[in-house]
């Protein structure tokens, strides 16, 4: 097969299971990460004269190690980090790939965490994978993986958890904190039966065409807002409420000389148990959703620019706005890289299965609500310096009046509420490393006047790695 530069492999995620520049060398490496974070903002009610101002600071620390070794019999890839959280609590999180496995009959038989194939660059924050037991073949050009037992919890990583673990409520205005956080500041360890199973096929043809097909079944069990209803509300059954979600994903990618294009189609089907409502005799909501995401980019030797978008279908509603059928329900980490939107406000562009269960927030705030997303992301690297700029425009779908639940590719299905977010980062990458060891970033977001929020942040991040 014709070889292609490592840059193209990184851009497309074609050789996602083989070693690349970000994969640690065999042996043991230790790492240290420290972040100085500061944010401030204001919330102004259109009817009020004064704005409610809020701010917060955090200095999370992370200590971790990566150990990798492979023989003809076994493969070891351990990646763990300890994070200091609220009240001096210590949280342990695995990296994207952290597992122990045996090699035999052309397969890897392993337990631990294994990430899904790397998305195209614009969606690198939308991470997911298996945590449990899995089997995958060893062919680099046609990957097949069977997720036998996946203990789903939203795929938490250092990069999408360091701020959330400091306590969301200290960074939010009081009304938003009461609405979005409430008593659920940390996942309840008593949740059970949140397992997934599935398989994926991912291939590469002539280093120009990438394809992926994936199916997952998630048993929510008693994981969710209404998962602990009493026995009599579950028709006498003592186990969970049998909520479930099935997701199909089909992805295609093409690479030309200086241009790449990717598109992923998602289909979600399932059942979500609900609280009792006299206007709806059924104690469950069907889930019937679709979503599409794309990434169109131009890359040069030292620079890359990509345009990306995401659109889920609407929820099916009555004329009074009551939900009759949920639309697309996502899984994995949040697609948004902005730390305050992702980790403080907990924004996801649709209903989502998080560590708390299936969540759909009926709120004016940028939480878990169906929304379309368009954005641009660019990077430039020269002499060890990495400059990054990103901007996204988020439009929430209409939630008033009746809706058929159809996929609408026009302004007709878009509501008046929006969020504009962006950021600029500058980092230094020493020779031989693939990620910045020092980085400064500024950014924020603002909403329309009906929500009235402006929130911005400054962070400084330092990393150290030694063998």
What domains sit in the chain, N to C, each tagged with a CATH number? Answer: 6-466 (2.40.160.10)
pLDDT of residue 24: 53
C-alpha 133/C-alpha 146 separation (Å) is 9
Q: What is the DSSP string of 297-355?
A: EEE-SSEEEEEEEEEEPPPEE-TT--EEEB--EEESS-S---HIIIIIS--BSSEEEET
Picking from 402, 423, 422, the residue whose alpha carbon sits closest to that of residue 413 is 402
pLDDT at 238: 40
Summarised one tens digit per residue, pLDDT across range 16-45 is 222 333 445 678 999 999 999 999 999 998
pLDDT at 133: 98
Average pLDDT for residues 427-454, to the nearest whole number?
92
pLDDT score, position 228: 45
How far is C-alpha 398 from the chain's CA centre? 23
% of the chain at pLDDT higher than 90: 64
Assess whether pLDDT exceeds 90 at residue 70: yes
Tell whether the model's pLDDT for residue 13 goes beyond 80: no
Specify the pLDDT at position 233: 39
Q: Which of 25-29, 312-316, 331-335 has the lowest mean pLDDT?
A: 25-29
Residue 207 pLDDT level (bands cut at 50, 70, 90): confident
């Amino acid at each position: 097969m014709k070889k292609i530069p490592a840059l193209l492999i990184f851009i497309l995620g074609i050789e996602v299971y083989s070693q690349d520049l970000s994969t640690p060398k065999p042996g043991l490496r230790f790492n240290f990460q420290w972040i100085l974070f500061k944010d401030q903002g204001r919330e102004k009610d259109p009817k009020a004269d004064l704005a409610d101002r809020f701010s917060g600071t955090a200095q999370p620390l992370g200590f971790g190690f990566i150990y990798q070794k492979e023989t003809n019999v076994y493969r070891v890839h351990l990646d763990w980090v300890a994070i200091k959280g609220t009240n001096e609590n210590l949280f342990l999180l695995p990296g994207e790939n952290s597992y122990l496995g045996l090699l035999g009959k052309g397969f890897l038989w392993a337990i631990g965490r294994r990430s899904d194939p790397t998305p195209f660059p614009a969606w690198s924050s939308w991470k997911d994978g298996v945590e449990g037991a899995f089997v995958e073949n060893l062919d680099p050009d046609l990957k097949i993986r069977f997720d036998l037992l996946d203990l789903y919890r939203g795929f938490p990583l250092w990069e999408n958890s360091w701020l959330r673990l400091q306590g969301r409520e200290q960074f939010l205005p009081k009304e938003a904190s009461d609405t979005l956080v409430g008593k659920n500041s940390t996942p309840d360890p008593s949740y059970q039966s949140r397992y997934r199973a599935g398989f994926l096929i991912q291939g590469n043809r002539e280093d120009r065409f990438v394809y992926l097909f994936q199916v997952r079944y998630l048993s929510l069990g008693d994981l969710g807002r209404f998962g602990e209803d009493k026995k009599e509300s579950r028709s006498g059954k003592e186990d969970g409420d049998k909520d479930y979600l099935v997701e199909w994903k089909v992805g295609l990618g093409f690479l030309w000389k200086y241009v790449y294009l990717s598109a992923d189609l998602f289909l979600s089907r399932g059942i979500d148990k609900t609280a009792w409502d006299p206007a709806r005799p059924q104690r469950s909501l069907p889930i019937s959703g679709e979503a599409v995401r794309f990434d169109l980019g131009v890359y040069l030797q030292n620079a890359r620019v990509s345009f990306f978008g995401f659109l889920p279908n609407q929820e099916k509603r009555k004329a009074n706005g009551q939900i009759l059928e949920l639309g697309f329900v996502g899984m994995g980490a949040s697609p948004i890289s902005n730390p305050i939107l992702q980790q403080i406000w907990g924004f996801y562009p649709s209903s989502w299965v998080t560590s708390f269960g299936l969540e759909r927030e009926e709120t004016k705030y940028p939480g878990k609500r169906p929304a379309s997303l368009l954005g641009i992301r660019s990077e430039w690297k020269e002499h060890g310096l990495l400059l990054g700029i990103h901007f996204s425009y988020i439009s929430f779908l209409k939630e008033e009046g009746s809706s058929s639940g159809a996929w609408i590719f026009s302004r007709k299905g878009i509501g008046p509420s929006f969020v504009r977010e962006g950021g600029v980062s500058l980092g230094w990458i020493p020779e031989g490393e693939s990620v910045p060891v020092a980085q400064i970033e500024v950014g924020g977001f603002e909403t329309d006047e009906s929500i009235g929020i402006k929130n911005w942040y400054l962070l400084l991040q330092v990393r150290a790695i030694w063998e």
